[in-house]
């Protein structure tokens, strides 16, 4: 029989596969995945290329927050504050953080330049909204960070023109020692329409969670919503918009909790068998005493 030629992957293919694994890491786990990927690749050049491309995308997707030097606060790594590949604006402190994406640390900061900041008029609205959202986040998310950016119209000098702010909220709880990690991300586009004297609010909320004790369960849920309020003074607008955000996020979290409490009687019961190969119905009458790991081991004949 003629020897079959061994198929080998090109360097580009290896990089793309490595990037896929890195970018699909659960929240807070990319460093662990990177360590495994490096071991499997056994090629530093391919690994370095893959992480250099994947980490910035992952960090911005999960909107991670990094501590700035000298206890200046946390900077959010998001596309809304991105000035270049490694520089991110923190509007609250008017500083620019220089970050190392792969190490996930902030290496230094510099003062923001005038052209990187909104006009005094827009800043009044941004500052007032930031103060209200910060108050809400400190109450609702024990490990949450927020920021308010000017997305459009940062050069508007006074009434008569439209501008747009964006509120970013990011919270994470990483507990690998307890086999669970999770993240909350929400982005709120706030359009100030001067001619209509209205403020249009569009939000997108996203929850990611990973539980991996004796199993591997992941959650990735997303929800979008819209609302509006009147165009008012900076302080009143800040209060109105933050109230809208609080209402919709609280409502969504309540709906998630209700869904989880109903899982045993809905989604889980649609799983007719614990393992297709066993052809055995799941014992719903005895779920409280059921051990999946023990039962599977017994079925496969590997019980200790």
What CATH number has the domain bearing residue 147? 3.90.1150.210
Q: Residue 40 CB: number of other CB atoms within 10 A?
A: 13
pLDDT score of 18 more than 70: yes
Give domain status of residue 199, yes or no.
yes
Q: What is the mean pLDDT of residues 32-56?
A: 96
Give domain status of residue 96, yes or no.
no
Which is it for strands 82-84 and 74-76: parallel, antiparallel or unpaired? unpaired
The answer to whether 131 touches 24, Cβ cutoff 8 Å, is no
Which is higher by pLDDT, 297 or 45?
45
pLDDT given at position 26: 92
Does 160 share its domain with 214?
Answer: yes
pLDDT score of 153 more than 80: yes
Does 191 share its domain with 219?
Answer: yes
pLDDT given at position 5: 41
Bridge partners, 61 (sequence order): none
pLDDT score of 15 more than 80: yes
Does 294 share its domain with 206?
Answer: no
Residue range of the domain that includes 292 = 271-300
Q: Which pLDDT band, with edges at 50, 70 and 90, does 287 fall under?
A: low
Burial class (CB in 10 A: 0-12, 13-18, 19+), 128: buried
Instruction: List the single range of 42-46, 149-153, 177-181, 205-209 with lowest mean pLDDT.
Output: 177-181
Q: What is the mean pLDDT of residues 43-51?
A: 96
Give domain status of residue 215, yes or no.
yes
Instruction: List the single range of 14-18, 203-207, 215-219, 225-229 with lowest mean pLDDT.
Output: 215-219
pLDDT score of 48 more than 80: yes
Which is higher by pLDDT, 268 or 18?
18
Does 169 share its domain with 230?
Answer: yes
The answer to whether 120 touches 100, Cβ cutoff 8 Å, is no
The C-alpha atoms of residue 102 and residue 53 are separated, in whole angstroms, by: 9
Does 125 share its domain with 259?
Answer: yes
Give domain status of residue 69, yes or no.
no
With pLDDT > 90 as the criterion, what percentage of the chain qualifies? 71
The answer to whether 156 touches 163, Cβ cutoff 8 Å, is yes
pLDDT given at position 71: 80
Q: What is the mean pLDDT of residues 260-271?
A: 63
Give domain status of residue 2, yes or no.
no
Does 202 share its domain with 232?
Answer: yes
pLDDT given at position 301: 56
What is the arrangement of strands in the sheet containing 180-193, beginning at the earlier edge strand?
144-152, 163-175, 180-193, 198-211, 217-230
Residues 6 or more apart whose CB falls under 8 angstroms from that of 19 comprise 50, 53, 54
State pLDDT tens for residues 19-39.
999 999 999 999 999 999 999
Does 243 share its domain with 173?
Answer: yes
Does 149 share its domain with 212?
Answer: yes
The total of structural domains in the chain comes to: 3
Which is it for strands 180-193 and 163-175: parallel, antiparallel or unpaired? antiparallel
Give domain status of residue 79, yes or no.
no
Q: What are the E-state strand segments in the chain?
A: 65-67, 74-76, 82-84, 87-90, 95-100, 105-111, 144-152, 163-175, 180-193, 198-211, 217-230
Q: What is the mean pLDDT of residues 143-171?
A: 96
Per-chain mean pLDDT for the chain? 88
Tokens representing 219 are 């959650």
Does 281 share its domain with 256?
Answer: no
Does 260 share its domain with 277?
Answer: no
Does 131 share its domain with 50?
Answer: no
What is the arrangement of strands in the sheet containing 82-84, beginning at the earlier edge strand?
82-84, 87-90, 95-100, 105-111
With pLDDT > 70 as the criterion, what percentage of the chain qualifies? 84
Give domain status of residue 92, yes or no.
no
Give domain status of residue 196, yes or no.
yes
pLDDT given at position 256: 87
pLDDT score of 278 more than 80: no
pLDDT score of 41 more than 50: yes
pLDDT given at position 3: 43
Q: Which pLDDT band, with edges at 50, 70 and 90, does 1 fall under?
A: very low
The C-alpha atoms of residue 154 and residue 89 are separated, in whole angstroms, by: 14
Of 37, 61, 85, at which residue does a domain stop? 61
Does 122 share its domain with 228?
Answer: yes
The C-alpha atoms of residue 227 and residue 249 are separated, in whole angstroms, by: 12
State pLDDT tens for residues 102-130.
999 999 999 999 999 999 999 999 999 99
State pLDDT tens for residues 165-205.
999 999 998 888 888 899 999 999 999 999 999 999 999 99
- Say which CATH number the domain at 53 has: 3.30.1140.60
pLDDT given at position 295: 55
């Amino acid at each position: 029989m003629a020897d079959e030629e061994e198929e080998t992957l090109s360097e580009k293919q290896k990089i793309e596969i490595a990037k896929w694994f890195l970018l699909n890491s659960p929240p807070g786990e990319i460093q662990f995945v990177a360590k495994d990927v490096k071991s499997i690749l056994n090629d530093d050049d391919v690994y370095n290329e893959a992480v250099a491309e994947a980490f910035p995308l992952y960090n911005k997707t999960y909107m991670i927050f990094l501590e700035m030097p000298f206890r200046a606060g946390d900077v959010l790594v998001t596309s809304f504050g991105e000035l270049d590949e490694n520089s991110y604006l923190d509007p609250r402190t008017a500083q620019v953080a220089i970050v190392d994406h792969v190490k996930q640390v902030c290496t230094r900061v510099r003062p923001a330049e005038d052209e990187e900041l909104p006009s005094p008029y827009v800043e009044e609205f941004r500052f007032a909204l930031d103060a209200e959202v910060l108050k809400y986040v400190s109450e609702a998310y024990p490990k949450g960070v927020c920021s308010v950016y000017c997305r459009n119209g940062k050069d508007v000098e006074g009434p008569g023109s439209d501008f747009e702010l964006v509120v970013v909220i990011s919270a994470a709880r990483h507990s690998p020692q307890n086999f669970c990690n999770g993240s909350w991300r929400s982005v709120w586009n706030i359009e100030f329409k001067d001619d209509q004297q209205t403020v249009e609010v569009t939000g997108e909320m996203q929850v990611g969670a990973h539980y991996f004790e004796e199993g591997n369960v992941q959650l990735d849920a997303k929800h979008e919503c819209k609302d509006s309020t009147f165009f008012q003074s900076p302080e009143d607008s800040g209060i109105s918009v933050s109230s809208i955000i609080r209402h919709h996020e609280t409502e969504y979290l309540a709906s998630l909790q209700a869904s989880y409490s109903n899982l045993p009687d809905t989604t889980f019961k649609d799983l007719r068998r614990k393992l297709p190969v066993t052809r055995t119905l799941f014992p719903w009458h005895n779920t409280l005493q059921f051990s999946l790991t023990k039962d599977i081991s017994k079925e496969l004949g590997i019980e200790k």
